[in-house]
Amino acid sequence: MNYLFIILLIVLLGIAFPKILKLIKHKSLYPFMPYKYNFRRRRITFSKTLQLLNERNAKILVETGTSRNGLKGTKTDGGATIVFGKWAKENNAKLHSVDISKDSVQGAQKAVQEENLQDSTTVHLGDSLDFLKNFNESIDFLYLDSYDYSKTDIEIQKKSQEHHLQEFILAEDKLHDKSIVLIDDCRLPGGGKGKTVVEYMLKKDWEILINAYQILLVKK
C-alpha cells in the first residue's frame, strides 16, 4: 500500500515538475503586457526601462532594429517595438523604429497594426546610421538592437559592435541628462553588441544601471 502511494507520488511529481519549472522560468511583464508573453532574459531590463520611462516622462523613443516577428518574438528577438510602442501609446509619446530590411519592416508594421499602435509607432525603412544622422529631435530613450550579432563569427562580432558604437555616436548630441540607453544582446561570446559602445560610454558621463543580457545606462 505504502509502495503504491510512493510510486503514485513520484509519477505525479514527474508530471507536475516540468510544468512547475516552466512556470518559474516564465518571465512576463504582466500587468503591462498580457501574462502569456514570456520576455525571458530581457524581463529585468525591460521592466526597469518601463519604470524609468514613466519616471522621466519620456516623449521620444528610438529603436534601431525592429521587431520583425512582432510579439511572436518576445523570447527570441525581444518584441521591443510592440512593448515600447504600447508604452508610447499609453503615455502620449512617440516611438520611431528603424530597420534596413524590407521584410523586417513589413513584419513589424503588421504587428503594429494588429496591436493598434500606428498612432504612436512609426517603423522606418533604412540604415540606422542614416536615420540617426538625420533625426533632429531630442531622444529620451535610445534602444540599440540592429546589426545582427554572431556567437561564433569574430568578423561579424566586430562589425556589429562597431555599428552599434557608430549608432550611439550619431545619436549622442540628441541625448540629454535624463536620457535612457538600452543595448540588446550583450551577454554573449565576444562581448555582444554592446562591448565597444559601452566602453565608449563609460569614458563619457554614462553609468551602467543594469548589466545583464541587456545593458541599461543612464547619465551620472
Ligand X SMILES: C[S@@+](CC[C@H](N)C(=O)[O-])C[C@H]1O[C@@H](n2cnc3c(N)ncnc32)[C@H](O)[C@@H]1O
Residues that bind ligand X (CB under 6 A): 63-68, 73, 77-81, 98-101, 104, 127-128, 145-148
Tell the smallest beta-carbon distance from residue 52 to ligand X (Å).
17
The smaller minimum CB distance to ligand X, of residues 114 and 205, is found at 114
CB of 98 to ligand X, least distance (A): 5
Burial class (CB in 10 A: 0-12, 13-18, 19+), 120: buried
Q: In the bound complex, what is the minimum distance in angstroms from residue 68's beta carbon to ligand X? A: 5
E strands, 52-201, in order: 60-64, 94-99, 121-125, 139-144, 175-183
Q: Smallest gap, in angstroms, from Cβ of residue 78 to ligand X?
A: 3
Is the CB of 68 or the CB of 206 nearer to ligand X? 68
Nearer to ligand X, 82 or 204 (CB): 82
Other residues' Cβ atoms within 10 Å of the Cβ of residue 18: 9
Task: For ligand X, give the closer residue by CB, 77 or 140.
Answer: 77
- What does the angle CA 158 – CA 169 – CA 50 come to, to the nearest 5 degrees? 95
Going from the C-alpha of 190 to that of each of 77, 186, 194, the distances in angstroms are: 19, 9, 10
